[in-house]
Amino acid sequence: MAQQTNDRMDRLVSLCKRRGFIFQSSEVYGGINSCYDYGPMGVELKKNIKELWWKSLVYERDDIEGVDASILMHPRVWEASGHVEGFTDPLVDCKKCKMRFRADQIDTGKNCPNCGGELTEPRMFNLMFKTYMGPVEDAANIVYLRPETAQGIYVNFHNIREASRQKLPFGIAQIGKAFRNEITPGNFIFRMREFEQMEMQYFVKPGSDEQWFEFWKEERLKWYERLGIRKENLEFHQHSEKELAHYAKAAFDIQYKFPFGWQEIEGIHNRTDFDLGRHQEYSKKNLQYFDQEANERYIPYVIETSTGVDRLMLTTLADAYDEDQAAGETRVVLRFDPRIAPMKAAIFPLVKKDGMPEIAHNIVNGLRKQFRVFYDEAGAVGRRYRRQDEIGTPYCFTVDSQTLQDGSVTVRNRDSMAQERISQDKIMDYLVERVV
Ligand code: GAP
């Protein structure tokens, strides 16, 4: 069983490279551990996931605003947030083979799981990447690459509230890069050192936090259905007292059933007034909110929803990956929800003559103003379908001899492989109804 799941993961990783979703970073130099580049199909998938998240929070609600804060922030931010002191993992080394492990992931009472050698005592290792601002490399110039995007939201809370004239409860959403010097990155793009987060901080009146926590838990789980993830592959995991981050009063993870087991894809946290309270203390600026209705001042509580774009890429790829039998051979197909499919449609002339390529090009030119579409005239139509199945294109339109007579084309559905005829004038409407 374990072998089967590993094989499945290997086949997915190989498809990702072959079809231009994901490449090892700096591959020509032998690669760099846990860093990946997104190819032509990968960037489209990533963009579509981010757009769906942004749309559902910022466009479809009137109580959430967007922000794009800088990655480098004042170093005091990370002292206030508790990351300088507490964003650590316990690290042990094997004295023999020099492999490194997270002490909380192995039995440190035993010897090295790799070679049986003796292990060092655990020591705490801070996960933040450090660099220097300006030419002088001294302690006064240390800056950190942000390990979460959330702090850029907290320090902008009052700027955004004033500029947008929002009243509590309201939220701020952000998509951006985060960096963690993970001890054990791995499982392809599951745990990386450079990754992208999509975080939303919802500011509420203290006392209403538990109700909003429940609200966002349910909302976020529902969102995964929009992403096209199968329900049976999702579950909540409640954090025990021991698992809770230093800032959280309560936390639930949404977990996905990856080929390598159930793992977190999103965290929903009740961060109380911890972050704004600490920024008020460290910055000595008043960060209270004046509640006009109640005529009182307080530090808002925060309900956070936090997920990783790369981790959702892996989730959508793993959930969509399928193999079935078609025409006596194994068909590899990515059954993406059409809304996140990187390529929305492919257009084929059946043959390279009789004006069919010209008609197909005209169709492509009309569609490409709105959608990422692909023109393909190379090889047998069956092979062209297979190539599109592998990247998850939901619809293929073929121009054939009947098109020359009545202007209709065939539409072939990726999942059912069923074909129907529609008028070529209706292709745009057909796609708008199904892929937007
Ligand atoms: N601001 C809260 C926060 O960062 P987290 O549970 O540490 O909470 C939230 O991270 C999400 O960010 C995770 O659920 C995951 O999707 C993503 N994430 C965290 N570390 C990651 C890593 N090393 N590689 C890829 N994604 C990561």
- Domain total of the chain: 2
Say if residues 208 and 168 touch (Cβ distance below 8 Å). Answer: no
306 in the same domain as 360? no
Confirm or reject: Cβ of 308 under 6 Å from ligand 1: yes
Q: Which residue has the higher pLDDT, 3 or 130?
A: 130
Domain annotation covers residue 210:
yes
How are beta strands 301-308 and 194-204 bridged, if at all? antiparallel
pLDDT digits (tens, 9 = 90+) for 42-94: 999 999 999 999 999 999 999 999 999 999 999 999 999 999 999 999 999 99
| Cα→Cα distances 35→296, 347, 361, Å | 48, 35, 38
Domain annotation covers residue 88:
no
264-289: average pLDDT: 98
The model's confidence at residue 4, banded by pLDDT at 50, 70 and 90, is low
Domain annotation covers residue 128:
no
pLDDT of 246 reads: 86
183 in the same domain as 226? yes
298 in the same domain as 413? no
Q: Which amino acid is at 6?
A: N
| Cα→Cα distances 278→53, 78, 274, 419, Å | 29, 10, 6, 61
303 in the same domain as 249? yes
232-239: average pLDDT: 98
Q: What's phi and psi for 345, nearest 5 deg?
A: -160, 155
- Residue 372 sits in a domain whose CATH number is 3.40.50.800
252 in the same domain as 372? no
Report whether pLDDT(138) > 70. Answer: yes
pLDDT of 326 reads: 80
Confirm or reject: Cβ of 196 under 6 Å from ligand 1: no
234-254: average pLDDT: 95
Domain annotation covers residue 282:
yes
Confirm or reject: Cβ of 148 under 6 Å from ligand 1: yes
Tell me how far the alpha carbon of residue 28 lies from the centroid of ligand 1, in angstroms.
29
410-420: average pLDDT: 97
291 in the same domain as 386? no
- 406 token code pair: 């009545």
Length of the chain: 436
Q: What's phi and psi for 389, nearest 5 deg?
A: -60, -40
Last residue of a domain, one of 317, 351, 377: 317
Tell me how far the alpha carbon of residue 125 lies from the centroid of ligand 1, in angstroms.
17
Last residue of a domain, one of 277, 302, 317: 317
Question: How far, rounded to the nearest angstrom, does the alpha carbon of residue 335 sit from its chain's CA centroid?
Answer: 18
CA dihedral for 161, 46, 225, 435, sign (positive or negative): positive
Confirm or reject: Cβ of 180 under 6 Å from ligand 1: yes
Domain annotation covers residue 188:
yes
Tell me how far the alpha carbon of residue 73 lies from the centroid of ligand 1, in angstroms.
19
Q: Which amino acid is at 74?
A: H
pLDDT of 1 reads: 54
- The C-alpha atoms of residue 185 and residue 192 are separated, in whole angstroms, by 5
pLDDT digits (tens, 9 = 90+) for 348-371: 999 999 999 999 999 999 999 999
Helix (H) or strand (E) holding 388: helix 381-391
- The C-alpha atoms of residue 397 and residue 212 are separated, in whole angstroms, by 46
- 187 φ/ψ sector (left φ>0, alpha ψ -120 to 50, else beta): left
- 207 φ/ψ sector (left φ>0, alpha ψ -120 to 50, else beta): left
Say if residues 19 and 320 touch (Cβ distance below 8 Å). Answer: no
Domain annotation covers residue 118:
no
CA dihedral for 375, 377, 378, 383, sign (positive or negative): positive
Confirm or reject: Cβ of 146 under 6 Å from ligand 1: no
392-419: average pLDDT: 98
404 in the same domain as 308? no
Take atom 19 of ligand 1 and give the residue whose Cα is closest.
308
18-36: average pLDDT: 96
- Residue 273 sits in a domain whose CATH number is 3.30.930.10
153 in the same domain as 238? yes
Domain annotation covers residue 228:
yes
Tell me how far the alpha carbon of residue 307 lies from the centroid of ligand 1, in angstroms.
6
**pTM given for the model:** 0.95
Confirm or reject: Cβ of 310 under 6 Å from ligand 1: yes
- The C-alpha atoms of residue 96 and residue 314 are separated, in whole angstroms, by 34
Confirm or reject: Cβ of 305 under 6 Å from ligand 1: no
Report whether pLDDT(436) > 90. Answer: yes
217 in the same domain as 160? yes
- The C-alpha atoms of residue 215 and residue 202 are separated, in whole angstroms, by 11
Report whether pLDDT(5) > 80. Answer: no
Q: Exposed, middle or buried, 211 (CB in 10 Å: 0-12/13-18/19+)?
A: exposed
**pLDDT-above-90 percentage for the chain:** 94
pLDDT digits (tens, 9 = 90+) for 114-132: 999 999 999 999 999 999 9
5-18: average pLDDT: 92
Cα atoms in the 13 Å half-sphere on the side-chain side of 435: 27
Select from 322, 207, 209, 317 the least CA-distant residue to 258: 317
Cα atoms in the 13 Å half-sphere on the side-chain side of 188: 26
Tell me how far the alpha carbon of residue 127 lies from the centroid of ligand 1, in angstroms.
12
178 in the same domain as 304? yes
Select from 91, 96, 126, 132 the least CA-distant residue to 114: 96
273 in the same domain as 418? no
218-244: average pLDDT: 97
pLDDT digits (tens, 9 = 90+) for 155-204: 999 999 999 999 999 999 999 999 999 998 999 999 999 999 999 999 99
Domain annotation covers residue 80:
no
- 158 token code pair: 């009052």
Q: Calculate the average pLDDT of the chain.
A: 96
Take atom 18 of ligand 1 and give the residue whose Cα is closest.
308
- Full residue range of the structural domain in which residue 386 is found: 343-435
Take atom 27 of ligand 1 and give the residue whose Cα is closest.
308
Q: Tell me which of 46, 145, 193, 195 to substitute to probe ligand 1's pocket, judged by most ligand atoms within 8 Å of the beta carbon.
A: 195
